[in-house]
Structures are given as structure tokens and as C-alpha cells.
């Protein structure tokens, strides 16, 4: 009798489909909807009115079509961006803006990596920093004042799920007074990734010498690598850009007078700002540097340092020649 159903293919198909769907809901969908399955991270802070306004602009302009906001648990990604993404850091995300492709870099840990001045300038003219970038200019965001009532309404909608976001209209109006969409976008970008712990301070063995220090081919290669990866912030000649990044060829390293050995440069390029504490120097107050250890090989990093040393010696020689001419 039990085999009778096999002689009714339509009934069998319907029952099998229903069984699979019920099983899927019970084992997958229902647990995902339970708040206790993905608790908010203790360090996660609710959006401010300005940050939420920036998220609205980010979503409206379709930034997630080119930028992802999720670090996958792969060694290369963790080395480049930091800790992989956790469900608990997206509690206030409605909808999620993870994206699905990386025409541009992932932004999940962007917050605090670069000063506000860099963010404003890059939004207005991306090609100034990355000549080959196909990112459009968002200079039009400047001067477009925010609508406090609209932001208050959005906060109120999110407060249905997150009561802590319930807005005070007067406070929102005061926070957004005189602020435009560019201010909002920068505020949103600068808060990304702060809910997860940043990398621990990296220890650096300062006795390690650069194996490519006097290699001419490495110097030539280092110049190309610097142009492709570092010049966007530090300038083509490594002299830095005011408000963006410091010079790499002067006698100041991480805001302290007095240079450091090549191994310190290796630590900074490889580990980014997380290497500062291990080197015992503070660096720029609002500065931040991306870790390149996940995308550049050790030889590449040593080659860049070889070029920097060559560039520093060249600039020093030019300075001596200039002083000699002045005293003739």
C-alpha cells in the first residue's frame, strides 16, 4: 500500500516539494530570523543621523555595485583588510549593502584608514589618486544640504526594529544643520569596520636587513611598485601630500624626528597602521595606512624600500648641491 504513491507522480512531486520546503524553513530560514542567532557585537554603535544620511546617499548612488562590504575568511583577504566580516556587525543594516563584485576595493574596514581630507578629495576627483580609476566624480554632493525631516523619518522606521535608534527631531535637526551630502558620505565611510577589533600590534624585528638594498633591478622595480600602490597618497616622489600622507624621504618617521631601519618600513607597508604600536611611534593623529602584506610579496615590499632609500639619497644629494651653489 505504501508503494501506491509512487504510481502517482504528480502527488509524489508535490509532497516531496512540500517536505523539502518545510525542512528548509525549519533548519535554515527560521534560525536565521532569530535574533539570538546573530547577536549584535558589543562594540557596535547605532548610526548617528549624519552617518545614516550618508548610508542613504551611498545606497542611492549605487556604490555597492562596484564596492563590496564583506571580508571573506580567506588568508589573503584577512591580511589585506583585517578581520573577516561577522554577522553581528550588520545588525543595523536594512538592507545589507554587501555588494557582489569588486570593481573598486572592498570598503568593509575603510573607517579611519585615511583622514577626512583624503575622503573628500577622493570623492570629488578619484583620478587624482588613481589615474586609471573608472570611478565617477561625486563633487556634486558638495552643497546639497541634507533634509533633517527625511533622515528623522528613516531613523523612526529603523526604530521599529531597533528602539535605540528612535530619533529626537530637534537633535537630528541640530546635528545636520549646515551639513551636505558630501559630509554625510564621509561620515558613513569613516564609521565602517569599527565594530570589529582592529589587528593587534605587530612585532617587528628591526635587525632584519633589506636583502635588495643595493640591487639596481630592485630599485627600478620598486619605483614602479611605488607608483602603482603608494603614490596615490604619498606623491610620485614620496614627498607626501599635506593633509593626506607624510613624506617618506625626510628625517621624520611616524611623527618622530629620526629615521628608522628598513625593517620598520617593511612592517608599516606589510601591516599598515597596525604596526605603529609595535614600532613605538604614534604617527599622524588622524592618519591611517592600508596593509599591503596581502597583495605584495616580501620581495615587492623590499624593492619599494630599496627605491625609497635611493630616492632619499637622491634628494639629499640635490639639497647639498643647492646649498653649495648658494654659498658660491
- The verdict on 169 and 223 lying in the same domain is no
Instruction: Give the pLDDT score at 150.
Output: 95
Please report the DSSP string for 244-309 in residue order: TB--SSSSEETTEES---HHHHHHHHHHGGGGHHHHT----TT------TTTS-HHHHHHHHHHHH
Cell of 64: 555597492
Question: pLDDT, tens digit, for every residue of 169-205?
Answer: 999 999 999 999 999 999 999 999 888 876 555 567 7
- CA triple 37-164-196, angle to 5 deg: 55
Structural domain boundaries enclosing 237: 216-320
Q: 230 in a domain, yes or no?
A: yes
Instruction: Decide which of 132, 157, 191 is a domain's last residue.
Output: 191
- The verdict on 179 and 69 lying in the same domain is yes
- CATH number of 274's domain: 1.10.760.10
Q: 266 in a domain, yes or no?
A: yes
With both helix axes pointing from N to C terminus, report the angle between 49-60 and 169-176 in degrees, rounded to the nearest 10. 70
- The verdict on 84 and 157 lying in the same domain is yes
How many structural domains does the chain have? 2
- The verdict on 83 and 171 lying in the same domain is yes
Contact partners, residue 269, CB within 8 Å, separation at least 6: 292, 293, 296, 301, 304, 305
Q: 7 in a domain, yes or no?
A: no
Instruction: Give the pLDDT score at 301.
Output: 93
- The verdict on 54 and 132 lying in the same domain is yes
- The verdict on 187 and 262 lying in the same domain is no
Average pLDDT over residues 37-48: 85
Measured distance CA(72)–CA(83) in Å, rounded: 9
Q: CB 62: neighbour CB atoms within 10 A?
A: 10
CB contact burial 105-123 (16+ within 10 A = b; e otherwise): ebbbbbbbbbbeebbbbbb
Q: pTM surpassing 0.75?
A: no
Contact partners, residue 310, CB within 8 Å, separation at least 6: 219, 222
Three-state secondary-structure class, residue 125: coil
Q: How far is CA 232 from CA 130, 222, 299, in A?
A: 6, 15, 21
Question: pLDDT, tens digit, for every residue of 120-179?
Answer: 999 999 988 777 889 999 999 999 999 999 999 999 999 998 899 999 999 999 999 999
Cell of 10: 504528480
Q: 252 in a domain, yes or no?
A: yes
Phi, psi of 145 (to 5 degrees): -65, 150
- The verdict on 146 and 267 lying in the same domain is no
CB 217 within 8 A of CB 299: no
Amino acid at each position: 500500500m505504501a508503494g501506491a504513491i509512487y504510481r502517482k507522480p504528480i502527488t509524489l512531486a508535490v509532497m516531496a516539494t512540500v517536505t523539502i520546503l518545510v525542512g528548509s524553513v525549519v533548519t535554515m530560514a527560521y534560525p536565521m530570523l532569530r535574533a539570538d542567532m546573530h547577536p549584535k557585537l558589543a562594540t557596535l554603535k547605532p548610526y548617528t543621523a549624519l552617518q545614516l544620511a550618508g548610508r542613504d546617499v551611498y545606497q542611492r548612488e549605487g556604490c555597492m555595485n562596484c564596492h563590496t562590504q564583506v571580508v571573506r575568511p580567506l588568508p589573503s583577504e584577512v591580511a589585506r583588510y583585517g578581520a573577516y566580516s561577522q554577522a553581528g556587525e550588520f545588525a543595523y543594516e536594512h538592507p545589507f549593502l554587501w555588494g557582489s563584485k569588486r570593481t573598486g576595493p572592498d570598503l568593509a574596514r575603510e573607517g579611519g584608514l585615511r583622514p577626512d581630507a583624503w575622503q573628500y578629495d577622493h570623492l570629488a576627483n578619484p583620478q587624482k589618486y588613481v589615474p586609471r580609476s573608472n570611478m565617477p566624480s561625486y563633487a556634486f554632493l558638495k552643497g546639497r544640504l541634507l533634509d533633517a525631516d527625511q533622515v528623522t523619518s528613516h531613523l523612526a522606521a529603523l526604530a521599529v526594529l531597533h528602539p535605540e535608534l528612535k530619533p529626537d527631531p530637534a537633535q537630528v535637526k541640530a546635528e545636520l544643520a549646515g551639513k551636505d551630502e558630501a559630509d554625510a558620505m564621509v561620515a558613513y565611510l569613516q564609521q565602517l569596520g569599527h565594530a570589529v577589533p582592529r589587528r593587534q600590534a605587530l612585532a617587528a624585528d628591526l635587525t632584519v636587513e633589506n636583502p635588495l638594498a643595493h640591487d639596481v633591478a630592485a630599485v627600478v622595480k620598486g619605483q614602479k611598485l611605488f607608483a602603482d600602490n603608494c603614490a596615490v597618497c604619498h606623491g610620485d616622489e614620496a614627498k607626501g601630500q599635506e593633509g593626506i600622507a607624510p613624506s617618506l624621504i625626510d628625517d621624520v618617521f611616524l611623527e618622530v624626528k629620526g629615521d628608522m631601519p628598513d625593517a620598520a618600513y617593511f612592517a608599516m607597508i606589510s601591516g599598515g597602521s597596525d604596526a605603529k604600536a609595535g614600532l613605538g611611534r604614534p604617527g599622524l593623529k588622524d592618519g591611517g595606512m592600508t596593509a599591503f602584506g596581502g597583495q605584495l610579496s616580501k620581495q615587492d615590499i623590499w624593492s619599494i624600500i630599496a627605491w625609497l632609500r635611493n630616492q632619499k639619497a637622491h634628494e639629499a644629494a640635490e639639497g647639498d648641491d643647492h646649498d653649495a651653489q648658494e654659498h658660491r
